[in-house]
C-alpha cells in the first residue's frame, strides 16, 4: 500500500483540485467524498469508487482494514499523513477517510419512476450547494422518487452538496435537464405539477396530493421563471404569518413533501 506524507505530491494536488474546482470535476468526470457513512451509501447506490485515501492517525489501521472489506478489492488504497489529510478535507469533523468516485449519468430521458404514485421535486436554477444538499436530505427522509434540476446553476458534485446531504446525495435519484425537458417528462407521465410562488397562488393546504405529484421550486434569488406560468401550472404558496415574506427553499420543500405524506397516510 502506498503512503503519501507530502502535500506537494502530484496525487494530492490533483485531489485538492477536484475538491475545489468544478471545471476539474467535469474534466475528470470524478469527485471527492469524505466520510465512512457517505462512502458506504455511495457504494450500495452503485457509484464507482476508484480510490480511497485514509489517515492512520484518525482511522486506526486494524479498523480500516476491516471496514474496507465491504468494497471492491480493485479500489486503489493509499494511506496519508495527518498533515496531508487535513489539507484534503473540507469537513470539520473528519473520520480519516476520503474517496474518489466517478460521475453518474444524470440524463432524465433514461429514467422512469418505479412508483405508480411518485413524488418529484423540480429545482429550477438552484444556486446554493447547501440548499441542494438539505433538499436531498429531506428527499431521502420523505421517500421522494427523484429531484430534477433544471437550468443548472450549481455543480451537483460540489463538496458542500455532498456534505450537507449527509449521504442522501447518493440515495435520491438526481437528474439535470432544461425546463422544457422536465415539463415534457411530467406531462408524459401524467404527474400533477404545482409551482411554489408568492404571486397569484393558492394555499398549498387546500389541494389534494394523493395522485402523482411534482413541486417546482424556484431559485433562492429570483424565484421561478415565467416558463412555468406560461404552461398553466397551478401556483401554490405556504402562508406566512410573520414579518418575512418567504422561507428558505429547503424548508419550503420539506413542508410540501411532508404534506403529501400526511395526505397519503391519512
Structure confidence by residue, pLDDT tens digits, 98-134: 999 999 999 998 899 989 999 999 999 999 999 999 9
SS3 42: helix
Nearest to 124 by CA among 189, 220, 200, 188: 220
SS3 93: coil
The yes or no reply on domain 108-265 and CATH 3.40.1280.10 is yes
Q: Which CATH class is domain 2-102?
A: alpha beta
d(CA 12, CA 32): 12
Residue 94 pLDDT greater than 90, yes or no:
no
pLDDT at 229: 85
Instruction: Please give the grid coordinates belonging to residue 58.
Output: 484518525
Domain ranges of the chain: 2-102, 108-265
> In degrees, to the nearest 5, what angle opens at C-alpha 174 toward C-alphas 171 and 178?
175
pLDDT in tens, 190-204: 999 999 987 888 999
pLDDT in tens, 212-258: 999 999 987 788 898 998 888 999 999 988 888 778 999 999 999 99
Tell me which of 211 and 246 has the higher pLDDT: 211
Predicted structure pTM score: 0.92
Amino acid at each position: 500500500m502506498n503512503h503519501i506524507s507530502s502535500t506537494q505530491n502530484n496525487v494530492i494536488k490533483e485531489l485538492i483540485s477536484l475538491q475545489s474546482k468544478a471545471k476539474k470535476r467535469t474534466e475528470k468526470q470524478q469527485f471527492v467524498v469524505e466520510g465512512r457513512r457517505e462512502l458506504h451509501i455511495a457504494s450500495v447506490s452503485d457509484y464507482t469508487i476508484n480510490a480511497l485515501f485514509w489517515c492512520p492517525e484518525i482511522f486506526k489501521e486494524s479498523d480500516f482494514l476491516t471496514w474496507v472489506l465491504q468494497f471492491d478489492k480493485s479500489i486503489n488504497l493509499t494511506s496519508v499523513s495527518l498533515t496531508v489529510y487535513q489539507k484534503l478535507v473540507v469537513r470539520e469533523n473528519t473520520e480519516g477517510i476520503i474517496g474518489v468516485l466517478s460521475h453518474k449519468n444524470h440524463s432524465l430521458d433514461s429514467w422512469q419512476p418505479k412508483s405508480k404514485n411518485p413524488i418529484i421535486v423540480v429545482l429550477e436554477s438552484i444556486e446554493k450547494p447547501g440548499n441542494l444538499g438539505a433538499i436531498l436530505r429531506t428527499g431521502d427522509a420523505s421517500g421522494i422518487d427523484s429531484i430534477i434540476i433544471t437550468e443548472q446553476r450549481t455543480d451537483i458534485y460540489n463538496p458542500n452538496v455532498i456534505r450537507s446531504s449527509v449521504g442522501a446525495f447518493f440515495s435520491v435519484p438526481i437528474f439535470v435537464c432544461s425546463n422544457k425537458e422536465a415539463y415534457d417528462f411530467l406531462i408524459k407521465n401524467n404527474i400533477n405539477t404545482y409551482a411554489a410562488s408568492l404571486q397569484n397562488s393558492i394555499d398549498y393546504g387546500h389541494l389534494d396530493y394523493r395522485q402523482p405529484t411534482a413541486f417546482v421550486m424556484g431559485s433562492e434569488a429570483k424565484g421561478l421563471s415565467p416558463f412555468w406560468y406560461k404552461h398553466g401550472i397551478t401556483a401554490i404558496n405556504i402562508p406566512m404569518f410573520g414579518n418575512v415574506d418567504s422561507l428558505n427553499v429547503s424548508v419550503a420543500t420539506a413542508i410540501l413533501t411532508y404534506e403529501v405524506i400526511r395526505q397519503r397516510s391519512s
